[in-house]
Amino acid sequence: MSDAETRTHSALHVLKGAAQKVLGTNLTASVYVSGERGRLTVQALRKPTPEELGTVEQEANAVVREGAEVLEFEMEKEEAEKHFGDEIYDMFPVRKEVPMLRIVRIPDWNVNCCREKHVENTSQIGEIRLEGTRFRNNKRLLEISFRLLT
């Protein structure tokens, strides 16, 4: 993964937290990263309004500007589930026999099990610009495309 892609991937965590807060979307169905462009696909019940999407972008950029720490640590699976609940999981499954999870946490914002590489501080991500969304009603999936401006 290039440096740009490490930043873009990290932006997915920030954006997921913003979508959770503003739209109440919890589960990630898939993610896509290419250079400074990325796409987060989350489970959603309806298409968000332009105002809501504006708020998602603002909230995400507030976390970038704030310069929050991105913490990464290993945790026993059982312990992590007790501590964080199902919130750490996405729709893609973690193999059952895996005893340890790698947890990525932006305090008060997002917690996820993830094995990718991340920035140490959200300020390294740069500004996030939402570039469009697509809501697939039959699958109840919302795709949020974005790019990094710096």
Which residues sit at the interface with Zn ion, rule CB under 5 A?
114, 116
Residue 13: CB minimum distance to Zn ion, A: 6
What SS3 class is residue 25? coil
What SS3 class is residue 116? coil
In the bound state, the residue with its beta carbon closest to Zn ion is: 114
Residue 137: CB minimum distance to Zn ion, A: 28
Residue 118: CB minimum distance to Zn ion, A: 6
Decide if 124 contacts 68 (C-beta within 8 A).
Answer: no
Residue 139: CB minimum distance to Zn ion, A: 23
Cβ closest to Zn ion, residue 46 vs residue 87: 87
Cβ closest to Zn ion, residue 48 vs residue 63: 63
Where do runs of H (alpha helix) occur along the chain?
3-23, 50-66, 77-84
Cβ closest to Zn ion, residue 15 vs residue 114: 114
Decide if 110 contacts 140 (C-beta within 8 A).
Answer: no
Cβ closest to Zn ion, residue 68 vs residue 114: 114
Q: How far apart, in whole angstroms, are the C-alpha atoms of residue 147 and residue 150?
A: 9
